[in-house]
């Protein structure tokens, strides 16, 4: 086999397959290859998608591959992890808008098949239930993409969230609002609440790829791999999942 041009190192732990890459670009490329492979093998796959700066490079790779190689998303369904509460879906900071601008408007996906929770409805409980039921109706998530917060959140499941949780409304941690204030004029504009798929909803995915980049994520990655399994560190639930691949750059994995 031709050696992969991308410099990567595989680390096998009992728990996760870890792919250590040289940098962010390689992390994005390797992750894209896996996800695109899944779509080629199962053209009607259900993909769980994430927002934030970590998966942006991955989405760029999808678009590039779609244009150059014609991988089709016509039959793919997508389910996003979360949405801010109280932001109009057309707000530039809504995750609905993020997904359209960074991915959906540039590939052949049927927008009807894309799903982001609605942070504007008055009955949040009903919206959470609807979202869970819809995930079930489309057959469950084949492959979920995750980022990780500095405090170990996955989706917007902040520390203390029950591992049994399903889609629910959550109060954002102050550190999350601070981290995300970079997209807003000031921290006061960052919503205080969000609707997020729960830990159990994420754990129900058949396969998970967690991405991380940069030294700022190193402590969180160390806790994820070596720390205890506890609701105080939501990502640690992933240690109980059978098929999680971590694809992260060497800065994020410097303590592993």
Known catalytic residues are 82, 151, 153, 158
Binding residue for ligand PGA, selected from 19, 145, 148, 224, defined by CB under 6 A: 148
Query: How many C-beta neighbours within 10 Å does residue 58 have?
Result: 25
Nearer to ligand PGA, 34 or 75 (CB): 34
Counted residue by residue, the chain has a size of: 256
Stretch touching ligand PGA by CB under 6 A, among 13-21, 144-152, 163-171, 197-205: 144-152
In the complex, what is the shortest distance from the CB of residue 127 to ligand PGA, in angstroms, rounded to a whole number?
21
Interface region with ligand PGA, contact rule CB under 6 A, candidates 16-24, 29-37, 47-55, 201-209: 47-55
| Residue 24 or 73 having the CB closest to ligand PGA | 24
Element (H, E) at 143: strand 143-146
Q: How far is the CB of 227 from ligand PGA (least distance, A)?
A: 17
Q: Is 184 within 8 Å of 221 (Cβ atoms)?
A: no
Choose the binding region for ligand PGA from 28-36, 51-59, 104-112, 235-243 (rule: CB under 6 A).
51-59
Q: Which is nearer to ligand PGA, 117 or 149 (CB)?
A: 149
Q: Which residue in the set 57, 149, 152, 234 belongs to the binding site for ligand PGA (CB under 6 A)?
A: 149
Which phi-psi region, left, alpha or beta, contains residue 93 (left: φ > 0; alpha: ψ -120 to 50)?
Answer: alpha
Burial class (CB in 10 A: 0-12, 13-18, 19+), 107: middle
Residue whose C-alpha is closest to residue 183's, from 63, 56, 78, 58: 56
48, 52, 119, 198: which one binds ligand PGA (CB under 6 A): 52
Closer residue to ligand PGA in complex, CB, 71/176: 176
**Tokens standing for residue 10:** 């595989």
- Nearest CB to ligand PGA, comparing residues 71 and 221: 221
How many residues lie near ligand PGA (CB under 6 A)?
7
Among 237, 249, 45, smallest CA distance to 143 is for 45
Structure token pair of residue 84: 């801010």
Compute φ and ψ for 211, nearest 5 degrees: -110, 145
Question: Could you list the residues that contact ligand PGA (CB under 6 A)?
Answer: 52-54, 147-149, 153
């Amino acid at each position: 086999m031709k050696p992969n041009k991308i410099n990567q190192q595989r680390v096998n732990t009992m728990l996760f397959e870890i792919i250590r890459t040289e940098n962010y670009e390689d992390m994005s490329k390797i992750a894209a290859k896996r996800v695109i492979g899944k779509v080629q093998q199962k053209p009607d796959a259900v993909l769980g998608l994430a927002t934030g700066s970590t998966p942006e490079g991955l989405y760029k790779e999808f678009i590039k591959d779609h244009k150059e190689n014609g991988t089709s998303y016509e039959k793919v369904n997508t389910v996003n992890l979360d949405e801010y509460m109280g932001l109009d879906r057309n707000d530039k900071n809504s995750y609905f808008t993020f997904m359209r601008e960074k991915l959906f408007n540039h590939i052949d996906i049927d927008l009807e098949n894309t799903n982001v929770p609605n942070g504007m409805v008055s009955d949040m409980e009903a919206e959470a239930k609807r979202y869970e039921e819809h995930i079930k109706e489309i057959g469950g998530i084949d492959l979920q993409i995750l980022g990780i917060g500095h405090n170990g959140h996955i989706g917007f499941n902040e520390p203390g969230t029950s591992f049994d949780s399903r889609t629910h409304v959550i109060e954002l941690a102050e550190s999350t609002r601070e981290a995300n204030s970079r997209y807003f004029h000031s921290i006061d504009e960052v919503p205080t609440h969000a609707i997020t798929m729960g830990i159990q909803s994420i754990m129900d995915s058949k396969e998970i790829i967690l991405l991380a980049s940069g030294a700022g994520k190193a402590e969180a990655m160390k806790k994820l791999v070596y720390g205890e399994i506890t609701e105080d560190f939501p990502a640690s639930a992933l240690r109980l999942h059978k098929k999680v691949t971590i694809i992260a750059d060497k800065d994020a994995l410097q303590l592993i």
